[in-house]
Amino acid sequence: PECWINRNAFESLTAQSGISHSFRASRQEDAHEYMVNLMESMHRCCLPSGVSSETPSAYEKSLVHKIFGGKLRSQ
């Protein structure tokens, strides 16, 4: 399937189903939940082909790590 990030920026940020299947139109969602799901989608979508998103080396190769220099974690 096509990576949802390949769309233009506005479409990518509003393509809620590409970020999380739990989001629905016209429903208020928690901003933190949205951001975590957005970052996780970017992580999975932008990994090199054949690299599992759950391996430790995947985090070092991901766009999220390159931009933010760390791992996603919830408090």
- Fill in the DSSP letter of residue 6: G
Query: Is the C-alpha dihedral spanning 62, 66, 70, 73 positive or negative?
Result: negative
Q: Is residue 75 part of a domain?
A: no
Q: Is residue 61 part of a domain?
A: yes
Q: Is residue 58 part of a domain?
A: yes
Q: Is residue 55 part of a domain?
A: yes
- Fill in the DSSP letter of residue 4: G
Query: Is the C-alpha dihedral spanning 8, 11, 17, 23 positive or negative?
Result: positive
Q: Is residue 11 part of a domain?
A: yes
Q: Is residue 73 part of a domain?
A: no
Higher pLDDT, 61 or 3: 61
Domain range enclosing 61:
4-68
**46: number of Cβ within 10 Å:** 15
Q: How does pLDDT run across 5-51, given as a tens digit for each residue?
A: 555 555 555 555 555 666 565 666 677 777 777 777 777 777 767 76
Whose structure tokens read 């957005």? 38
Q: Is residue 74 part of a domain?
A: no
What is the number of domains present in the chain? 1
Gap between the Cα atoms of 35 and 33, Å rounded:
5
